[in-house]
Structures are given as structure tokens and as C-alpha cells.
Amino acid sequence: MKFAVRLTALGLCLLPAAARTADFDKDRLDNWHQWRGPLANGTAPRGDPPVRWDEKTNIKWKADLPGRGSATPAVWKDKVFVLTAIDTRRAADPKDLPNVPRGDAKTTPPKTYHQFVVLCFDRKTGKELWRRVATEQVPHEGHHPTHSYAAASPTTDGDRLYASLGSRGIYCCDLDGKLLWKRDFGRMRTRLGWGEAVTPVIHGDSLVIAWDQEKDSSLICLDAKTGATRWKVPRDEPTGWETPLIVEHDGTTQVVVNGTRRARGYDLATGKELWQCGGQTVNAIPSPVRYGDHVICMSGYRGAFACSIPLSARGDVTDSDKLAWRLKKGTPYVPSPLLAGDRLYFTEERQAKLTCVDAKTGKVLMGRERLPGLETLYASPVLAAGRIYLVDRSGTALVLKHGGKLEVLATNRLDDGFDASPVVVGKQLFLRGEKHLYCIEGK
């Protein structure tokens, strides 16, 4: 927040809620406070990071990361927040081993204690400012080989940091790491034991969590200041790794949640379902994006589907002619789409193939073009200064020109693997790898 006089933390807390919200809205374009960035669509409106880098070029700093995680960082002012899970290698006391039926799980839970940790780095230097062990537990499930126990991205409202560790709890602390509240919603049971990724979303004084699992799925709204439950509604959905999108339209604030069975819109004030739209594939992970008065939802595992749903919709619109468009080719499994003005970019399944469509009409402008040099993609694309940034799991990144055709500006390589999505703040690009956190900035 940019004030003529620096406010103390106490002074900030005494400001009226409306004033704090206005200040946050003013500053968010200069930060990356949540998964998919300030506008929740992958764009950094005021970002201008380098086009080229490698291990010896344009690396402002590089910080070692303990443990393992795939959560995308959050950045607020001079602080970078990262979640990780550290296997202590200490054998668990038998009394601490979870007694949970394995069912059809294809993974095996560990028998060692894991620390679930929130890290804070100085954005200017990469120095670790603080770390907080949220909890130390023995996980009750394993996870997919490409997954981790720290996969949900943190979010902040400029005053508080919200970190979701799923079955290990939802934690709220101040930006200096002091715990303010925590909630425990019990143990999730995920599809085939593949693991969790419950990313919270903040809107005003509401914190929303999609708690989709194999049984008793729900959507939960908490009071962001206290952690108290405002409402909880059941969801007819199996395990999901989706992140809700919160948008305002025609006087109503909606929570849009993707899902294997249906994409749905809910009233943020009450949790009432407003609309639903079927057609999705299994494991509908990609985050919805808003375009004008529509929301675009997609999925791409064992099939392909995308559609543009009017936010004025009510009831079941699966077969309605109110949908602006539908598409059944080239949609992503893990990465989320990127909305850049009137153009929507997305990759196919986990492959390095890029599609661009007109966001208004769904017309394909560039169809499933091979991205040279890239392999498997889990990270989502981002846009800054008219350039698209994509990074694959092997450490190769492409920088493309935003336009109607594939134009590669640079191919870059780092000695790490990347599942977390790029983060752009100002002239800096942050990449969270398996072993390191990189801050990339031009000289």
C-alpha cells in the first residue's frame, strides 16, 4: 500500500474494512497475491520481466528450498511466501500412524513424520526471513509420484497469509508468521490416493475452500479474520484439485467451481447454487477464467471440453443455447488457461501443444501448435508485457510473443524441474523449482 505516512500494523488494523479493501485493490496489480495472479487469469498487467535467462544470466538470486512442494508462491510487496513439506526421516511412533482404510489407493502412506512449513523470503535478496512449522504429522495417504504434500498455493489479503495444507489444516498468520487462527476439516480421501491440492481464495472478508474428495465433498466459506464457518454446502463431486474463481456480476458475487461432473456457480453470500453446466472430463483441474459477462471452464483428461457460460445463467445450462461457445479439442489436464485480452491460450492435456481461441466466440486462431523444446507441462502460462511465459517439468522455458501465431522470442534453461507456475511482479520473474526458488531480473 502506498501511503504518504507509513502505517504501523496496529494502525492498519484500525482502518475501516472498506478502506483496507480499497487499499488492497489498489495495490494488488503490483503484486501476485493469489494463484493465477492479481486478476486470476494468469496476467501481470504491470509486469515486465526479462526475456532471456540461464543459471549465469539474469539471476538476481537463487534460494535453496527444503523438502518438497509444488505450490506456486505468493508475493506481497517485499515478501515471497512458499509452502513445503519436509520428510524428517524420523520413524513414527506406532500410536501416531494413521489407521485409515486404503480402499482402492494406488499409493502407500509414509511411516515418517513430515513437517508442513510456511517459508517467507526477502524479495530483494532471497534471504529467508522466517519459517513456521504449521504442524508435524504422519500423512494418512501417499501421493502421485509427480505430486507433493504441499501443492496448494497460499494467498494473502495484504494483512494476513492463508495457507492450506488440506488434511493437515487451514492456517492463517500475519505477514511476519504469527499464527492468528487454524481450522481442521479432517482427513480427505482422494482418488486412488493421488493426494491433495486445496487452494484457498480470498474475497473481501470471505475465504473460500473447495473440499472435493471421494466422499462428502463440500464448498466452505470462512470468515477470513476469525476462521469461523459462514456456510458449508455439499457438492456432488469426486476428488478435485480445482481452485474456485470469485467474480461479481449484476449485484451478486459468485463462486465458480470447476468439477468432474459439473461446473457450478454459487452465491458467495449464502452458498446457494445458482447454475450448473455439465460436459467436463474426469479430473477437471484447470481454473475458470472470466471474460466479460461469461466464465470459461475447461478440462482435458481422457477427453477435451471447454465452454463459455453466461454469469446470468440460472439452473442447468448444460444443453442450453445460452452458452456462448463449446470446444472439444486441445484442452489442458493440469495447467490452467491464460486470458490475454480477447485471446484465450491453453495447452493440450500435459503436452507442449498450444491453442489460442477468440475468447468471445471460441473461434480457433491457432490450433494445437507444437511448442519447440518443451516437454511435459504442469505449470500454467502467464502473460507480461505482451509476452507469454511457459516452463516445463525439465527446466526449459519458452517466451512467446502474444499474438495470433506462434512466435518464439527465447528458449531458456535452468538446472531444476518446475511444476509450480511462474509468478511475475514488476521486473521480476519468480520460478519455484524442485530444489530452488529463482528470482529472475534483468541487469
4 occurs within a structural domain:
no
Q: Above 50 in pLDDT, residue 14?
A: no
Distance CA 96, CA 88 (A): 14
| 204 closest CA partner among 370, 40, 20 | 20
Q: Which three cell numbers stand for residue 292?
A: 466479460
Q: Is the pLDDT of residue 65 over 90?
A: yes
What pLDDT sits at residue 99? 80
pLDDT above 90 covers a percentage of the chain that reads: 91
CATH of the domain at 293: 2.130.10.10
pLDDT tens digits, 356-398 = 999 999 999 999 999 999 999 999 999 999 999 999 999 999 9
Number of domains in the chain: 1
- Report whether pLDDT(5) > 50: no
Asked, for residue 175, whether it belongs to a domain, the answer is yes
Distances (CA, A) of 204 to 45, 93, 271, 391: 21, 42, 16, 32
CB 218 within 8 A of CB 198: no
Grid-cell match 502460462, residue found: 381
Residue with cell 455439465: 278
CA distance 112 to 103: 21
Query: Are 198 and 152 spatial neighbours (Cβ–Cβ below 8 Å)?
Result: yes
Residue 432 lies in a domain: yes
Flag whether 17 is in a domain: no
pTM: 0.94
pLDDT digits (tens, 9 = 90+) for 19-51: 556 677 879 999 999 999 999 999 999 999 999
In a domain, 9, yes or no: no
* Residue 25: inside a domain: no
What single DSSP character describes residue 159? S
Give the mean model confidence (pLDDT) for residues 96-101.
84
In a domain, 253, yes or no: yes
Asked if the structure places residue 100 within a domain, the reply is yes
Range of the domain at 386: 31-441
**pLDDT for the residue 54:** 98
pLDDT one-digit tens code per residue, 286-311: 999 999 999 999 999 999 999 999 99
